[in-house]
Structure 1
Amino acid sequence: MEARRFPMASRSRSRRRSRRAPPEQTANPSLEPRADGEAHAQAAADGDSLFDDPVQGAPAQEPAPGGPAPTSDWTARTTRTIVVLAVTEIAGKLSMLVIIVGAARLLGVADFGVFAYALAVGLLAAVIPLWGYDIVVVQRGSAEPGRLRGLLADLLVTRTALVFVVLAVLAASAGSLGLSGPPDSRAGLAAFIIAAAAVLDTYTEAYRSAAAAIQRQSIIAVVHLVQRLLTAAAALTALLLHTGLLGLAVAYLAGTLVGPLAGALLVRHQGIGPRWREVSVASLVRLNRGTWVLGVASILAMALFRLDILLIAWLVGDRAVGVYAAAYRLLETALFVCFAVARTVFPLMAADAEPRRVQRHLERGWSVLAAIFLPYMTLLCFRGHDLLLLFYGEPFAGAGTDILRWLAAAPLLFSLSYVISMAMVAAGPTPRLLIASAVALVVNVSLNLLLIPRYGAIAAAFTTPVTYLAEAVAGLWLGRRRMGRPRLVWTLLPALVASGVAAGPLLAPLPLAPALLAAAAVYLPSLLLVARFVDPEQIQVLRHTLTPWRTG
């Protein structure tokens, strides 16, 4: 039934047939590996990676003469991609954190609340031009690389039309949306510019999806890094020159525009630039076919991610938004790990959406995410006040410590729900993803409306991880036919035990830096020891992660 409703779901069978064809029948010269050694689109089709293990009944692969086995080669390459994405995302997230910290310290709590609120509105509005098209381009471009340039052109044309509509709505309703002040005020103009920057950044995501389809995510990761660094430099300059909220907004917009411009140049240099002559009414219709599920699900997902800030602003005020956003940023900054892993794993899922392989990719990705987010949750719980004091100062640390403790589990549960959602759509769009997102949204809105008027921002902090847990449970149940029954709790066990051991130094009466070093020193050996008995494959994942450029 799903295959008939969503044609993309039926392609996994044809992809499996094409994968058994001889190499000369499937090779594409334009997608051969470059000198940098990154995998091309066929890597995803082969199904061999850090997150893949031989499945019973799968065709055996012979090692190349005089060289390592293909599985080992693809393991190293896939791990290298994850590490490159992670490194660039770390630098990019740290640059954004610099902007947030600078704005919090130099603008004050109230103006920083306006900045955070406007950014949340912009990111929520950006879901309209995104609409799940990027996932479709990755799916179809990975399966049929020859169509990628035409798909990118269709995506850019569609996105441009939607961006104009969204910007017009934001400009017309800035005041009524509560972006601070009347539409002609400086604060209202600044808020509109900040929101517009978030919407225009969707063009960068279009180029990212094209690169992901051919397993060359790192080229756009570099663009993202340069964009964030330039944005941080411009924003800090504006803040230090005391240009206020409006100056910060203009600098933020100028830095953001670097991403789409550089992305367009790089994809053209890689030979996957948009082929405009292939755009037609029929091709645009094909691009949109079945995307309503992904689009609505994306709106629901972003609403879950940003609605708490909007509700706090409406029900409590700008100062509460400022404190909550400061604590929330410490969580959001760490989510680059989730996105880096998901961007690497999803093309592999999409290239071979057989449930056992999707389950294997999901488990391997979850093991990486748990090994990072469980100790991070421990750190936020026990040393959250020290972190807030370090980054934002006493006005935020005093009011934000309890908020941060309630939010501590959110990155772990968000990453779980995110990779589950990727597994659900690996074989094509499904309305079950929409149902899972709707369940989570009902939980989120109901709890927030019930608790925020009485308990303030702490209620939103409590609701956030509960919401992601509800979404993950719903996704597992609704997507069980597409991903099997992944062993999520068993995969979590090594990181859980190791995080418990690392909690000892964090609870000790030590300054923050020595406590962090001591916790890290006991965490890794504990993780390896438990994984050796519980899940030895996690040791292989860690070994390749620590030596990503090792080819053997």
Structure 2
Amino acid sequence: MTPERTSRTGHTARVAALNVVVRGSAEVFGKVATFVWTIFAARQLTQGEFGAVSYALTLMLVLSALPNGGFEVGLVRQGSARPELLNRVFSQTQAWKSLLGVPVFGVAVLVTVLTEPSPTTALVVVLFLVAGFPEMWSSTLRSASTTIQKPWASSSALVLQRIVTAVLIVAVAWANPTPLGVAIGFCLGTFVGWVAHVVALRRAGVHLVPSEIHRAGLVDLLKDTWVVGISGMVLMALFRLDAILLQAMVGYEAVANYSVAYRILETVLFVTFSVNQAIFPVMSATTQIERIRNAYERGLAVIGFVYLPFATVCVVESGEVIQLLFGPRYVDSATPILQWLAPAPMFYAVAFFGAAVLYSRQRQVETLAAAVTATVVNVTANLLLIPRWEGTGAAVATSLSYLVHGSIILVAVRRAGIKVGVLRPLLESGVASVVLVLLLLALSTPLLVELALGGVVYLAVWTALCRVTAPEQLEVVGSLLNRVRSR
């Protein structure tokens, strides 16, 4: 390798590492803020009321999948390859989301008003649906920020949005704990966050150009991304449909029990999104199979470092975790749900990164086929299991469908000529997690003490193994920590 190529590779790696740190830090703060208001709402509201809020949020996210389409993937891909087209594709993306969002959310509002027996619950759902617009627009701005390799441009706006939303919800719910108060706080906070995103990205040079929004451009963008869009819509159904089916088949209390456990799982998924924000532009900007394979495996190693010990704690200490966060009334019902959901984040990451590989190779059809198959498995399993086991059945269906999805994606990646490894990148974190299991089973101390001791032991074992078998993982972590300290 020439010195020039080595320099370019090193620069790309440093930029990717910095992007992970910045985007990951923002996501951590954002997830903490979201988790705070979720815990507060779960403790302040009745189970039925919290279930209604969770259902409204889930419905908004599921319906957002259609107007979101695959436009952001097209934005990142085209903007990374040809930066001069970024504002054009950004403008077209925002236009498509708005055009599709009006009928999708409009129909949902009409159906909700006509079918929901409680006017208050109907208003809660409507407010969450209205918040879907600024949530979609802000997401596009974050993708544009990633495309120009300046994630800090949107990170502060994301943190502001989550914190303002949490403060508003807690303040309103503290004075008058009702689902309507939570919905009002969420809607207002989301609009504040969108304004903050607009200001931050305009300073970075990303802005809406109305003259670039024309029929020919919109049609070209749709042709480039429609398969990805359908795949994303199906994946969102796979990701969120459980709560909607639970509400339809059992009721809001079952949604509350499931949402308590699912929120714990969902809180760590930002790691997958943050790492993907770093590796996907790298994949999209190269045709070298080796670089794509390395990006996938490095990303998976980082994910395993976080998700395998997370799964360990969720299986061994699930009841204690739920009681600490959400109180004793959810322990009996949510404990088995959390245990069955524990492996889902790892399965999800395997599939998510694999899909990024396929997108970078222009093989969108395979991702759609995998998503459709996994969703069929998910819906079938839910219909069979929910009537008997309610939330636990939904959790089994979720983990099973993610496993199926990841398996199909990996087969497609290897058919594309990229033989990525899965088990090898997870070796060190897997062995360290086995040690963590034994330690947690042996201890009988308060949960926070066990987690502190377990974290120290896990990190020590992982570090010792990496020094012998995978020193490059230590170099990556050290680089990230140095960048955090220098900012």
TM range (shorter): over 0.9
Q: Who is 2:288 aligned against?
A: 354
Whether 1:88 aligns to 2:26 is: yes
Offset at residue 485 of structure 1 (A): 1.2
% identical equivalent positions? 31
2:454 to 500, 516, 519: 519
2:389 to 448, 455, 462: 455
CA distance in 2, matches of 1:144, 1:71: 19
Contact 2:45/2:177, CA 8 A, preserved across alignment: no
Whether 1:196 aligns to 2:125 is: no
Change (3 A) 1:311 1:353: farther
Letter aligned with residue 351 of structure 2: S
Letter aligned with residue 263 of structure 2: R
CA distance in 2, matches of 1:468, 1:370: 16
Q: Who is 1:293 aligned against?
A: 227
CA distance in 2, matches of 1:539, 1:429: 33
Contact 1:190/1:246, CA 8 A, preserved across alignment: yes
Q: Who is 1:42 aligned against?
A: none
* 1:439-518 alignment runs, 5 A limit: 439-482=373-416, 484-507=418-441, 508-518=443-453
Q: Who is 1:48 aligned against?
A: none
Offset at residue 278 of structure 1 (A): 2.3
Q: Who is 2:215 aligned against?
A: 281
Deviation sequence 1:442-473 (CA, Å, 0-9, x none): 11111111111112111111121111111011
Contiguous gaps of at least 5 residues in structure 1: 1-58
Q: Who is 1:6 aligned against?
A: none
CA distance in 2, matches of 1:550, 1:101: 31
Letter aligned with residue 266 of structure 2: E
Q: Who is 1:34 aligned against?
A: none
Segment of structure 1 superposing worse, 190-199 or 505-514: 190-199
Offset at residue 533 of structure 1 (A): 3.5
Contact 1:227/1:259, CA 8 A, preserved across alignment: yes
CA distance in 2, matches of 1:194, 1:549: 35
CA distance in 2, matches of 1:426, 1:547: 30
Q: Who is 1:60 aligned against?
A: 2
2:317 match: secondary structure: helix
Change (3 A) 1:468 1:270: same
1:311 to 245, 249, 256: 245
1:156 match: secondary structure: helix
Query: Which has the greater radius of gyration?
Result: 1
CA distance in 2, matches of 1:493, 1:140: 35
Q: Who is 1:535 aligned against?
A: 470
Letter aligned with residue 53 of structure 2: F
1:121 to 50, 55, 59: 59
Contact 1:358/1:482, CA 8 A, preserved across alignment: no
Offset at residue 71 of structure 1 (A): 4.0
1:132 to 55, 58, 70: 70
* 1:175-186 alignment runs, 5 A limit: 175=113, 180-181=116-117, 185-186=119-120
Contact 1:423/1:483, CA 8 A, preserved across alignment: no
Change (3 A) 1:127 1:199: farther
Q: Who is 1:364 aligned against?
A: 298
CA distance in 2, matches of 1:247, 1:523: 42
CA distance in 2, matches of 1:93, 1:483: 37
Segment of structure 1 superposing worse, 286-295 or 273-282: 273-282
Q: Who is 1:12 aligned against?
A: none
Deviation sequence 1:163-214 (CA, Å, 0-9, x none): 21122112211146x6x425xx111111111132134300001111211111
CA distance in 1, matches of 2:417, 2:333: 42
Contact 1:424/1:483, CA 8 A, preserved across alignment: no
Letter aligned with residue 123 of structure 1: L
CA distance in 1, matches of 2:357, 2:20: 18
CA distance in 1, matches of 2:228, 2:276: 16
Offset at residue 295 of structure 1 (A): 1.0
Whether 1:217 aligns to 2:186 is: no
Letter aligned with residue 114 of structure 1: A
Q: TM-score, normalised by structure 1?
A: 0.85
Letter aligned with residue 82 of structure 1: V
Change (3 A) 1:63 1:488: closer
Q: Who is 2:15 aligned against?
A: 77
CA distance in 2, matches of 1:63, 1:232: 46
Offset at residue 379 of structure 1 (A): 0.8
CA distance in 2, matches of 1:260, 1:117: 23
CA distance in 2, matches of 1:275, 1:315: 46
2:360 match: secondary structure: coil
Give the superposed CA RMSD.
Answer: 1.8
Q: Who is 1:407 aligned against?
A: 341
Q: How many residues align?
A: 485
Contact 2:413/2:419, CA 8 A, preserved across alignment: no
CA distance in 2, matches of 1:478, 1:340: 23
Letter aligned with residue 17 of structure 2: T
Deviation sequence 1:505-552 (CA, Å, 0-9, x none): 32211111111111111111211222233333222222222222589x
CA distance in 2, matches of 1:284, 1:429: 21
Offset at residue 329 of structure 1 (A): 0.2
Change (3 A) 1:136 1:339: same
Contact 2:351/2:409, CA 8 A, preserved across alignment: yes
Change (3 A) 1:105 1:483: farther
CA distance in 2, matches of 1:535, 1:398: 41
Change (3 A) 1:219 1:370: same
Whether 1:99 aligns to 2:37 is: yes
Offset at residue 63 of structure 1 (A): 8.5
Deviation sequence 1:314-364 (CA, Å, 0-9, x none): 112111110110111000011111110011111111111433221111000
CA distance in 2, matches of 1:158, 1:432: 24
Contact 1:83/1:545, CA 8 A, preserved across alignment: yes
Change (3 A) 1:61 1:259: farther
1:383 to 310, 317, 335: 317
Contiguous gaps of at least 5 residues in structure 2: none
CA distance in 2, matches of 1:477, 1:72: 31
Q: TM-score, normalised by structure 2?
A: 0.96
Whether 1:336 aligns to 2:274 is: no
Contact 1:293/1:429, CA 8 A, preserved across alignment: no
Contact 2:74/2:224, CA 8 A, preserved across alignment: no
Q: Who is 1:44 aligned against?
A: none
Offset at residue 62 of structure 1 (A): 3.0
Higher share in helix: 2
Q: Who is 2:353 aligned against?
A: 419
2:84 to 141, 146, 168: 146
Segment of structure 1 superposing worse, 196-205 or 364-373: 196-205
Whether 1:271 aligns to 2:205 is: yes
Segment of structure 1 superposing worse, 131-140 or 72-81: 72-81
